[in-house]
Amino acid sequence: MGADWGVIIVAAGKGTRMGTKESKQYLQLADKPILVHTLEFFQSLDWVKEAVLVVGSDDVERCRDWVKEYGMSKVTAVVAGGTERQHSVHCGLQELSTDWVMVHDGVRPLVTAEAVRACCTQAEQSGASVLAVPVKDTIKQVNEAGVIVSTPDRRSLWAIQTPQAFRRVLLLEAHERALAERFVGTDDAMVVERMGVNVTVAEGEYTNIKITTPEDLPWAEFLLAKRRADRAEGKGEQR
């Protein structure tokens, strides 16, 4: 993997499922805010040359302070996001200059270097790739009346994660088109897919959790503690 990569870390959401006054990305995980763990992870990756952080307009200044406090030299911009996640990614794309770009959720601090490397390598071969894991449970499609209408084949179903990785000009074109056509997708892969571009999947890890609800925090604490213990014993991941 020889290309230089940039990353857009999206943390502009005001998620309500956590049930806290503070937005979930700013809650403490062990010794630091969740978002800081995520930023420090990408700071540590050799092939990541620049990072853009997209946050709510009220949080720009404190996030800029954290970037300085924690010495995150790869963060070249902290900008305010838009009304939808998709608009926030578009804002971040304006600030990047690398040929390749990842988009990552600020509340996924436990992604590994191996998984990110796999996603980037896959993207360099196909132009667009996302991290994902095979679905473990049987999935049912249910109608508005609460009645099961179909049971998709589990073997074809994957739970999509981040980062999602793309050639930057491709993702920018997809977002520009979506904006012009007032289309809002649920992830970046969706805006690329609608251009007729094939997006490939790189298999990730089930521990790459998105911290969204209160029960996610203890699990994240456990995973983080285990990772630190493994690193102390010399089992740490290679970056």
What pLDDT digit, counting tens, does each position of 179-215 carry?
A: 999 999 999 999 999 999 999 999 999 999 999 888 8
SS3 16: coil
Instruction: Report if residue 13 sits inside a domain.
Output: yes
Instruction: Report if residue 28 sits inside a domain.
Output: yes
> Considering its fold, how many domains does the chain have in total?
1
Q: Which of 166, 164, 186, 188 is nearest to 175 (CA)?
A: 188
Which pLDDT belongs to residue 67?
Answer: 96
SS3 15: coil
Instruction: Report if residue 130 sits inside a domain.
Output: yes
Instruction: Report if residue 36 sits inside a domain.
Output: yes
Sign of the dihedral through C-alpha 15, 18, 21, 26: negative
Instruction: Report if residue 33 sits inside a domain.
Output: yes
- Domain residues for 111? 5-229
Which pLDDT belongs to residue 130?
Answer: 98
SS3 97: coil
**Amino acid, single-letter form, for residue 229:** A
Which pLDDT belongs to residue 210?
Answer: 95
d(CA 182, CA 191): 11
- How many other CB atoms are there within 10 angstroms of residue 234's CB atom? 6
Q: Is residue 18 over pLDDT 70?
A: no
pLDDT, tens digit, 9 for 90 and up, residues 140-181: 999 999 999 999 999 999 999 999 999 999 999 999 999 999
pLDDT, tens digit, 9 for 90 and up, residues 37-88: 999 999 999 999 999 999 999 999 999 999 999 999 999 999 999 889 999 9
Instruction: Report if residue 238 sits inside a domain.
Output: no
Q: Which residue pairs, CB below 8 angstroms and at least 24 apart, start in 20-27?
A: 23/56, 23/59, 24/107, 24/211, 24/212, 25/55, 25/106, 25/107, 26/59, 27/211, 27/217
CATH number at residue 14: 3.90.550.10
Q: Is residue 2 over pLDDT 80?
A: no
d(CA 92, CA 85): 11
The pairing of strands 75-80 and 100-105 is unpaired
Instruction: Report if residue 98 sits inside a domain.
Output: yes
Instruction: Report if residue 79 sits inside a domain.
Output: yes
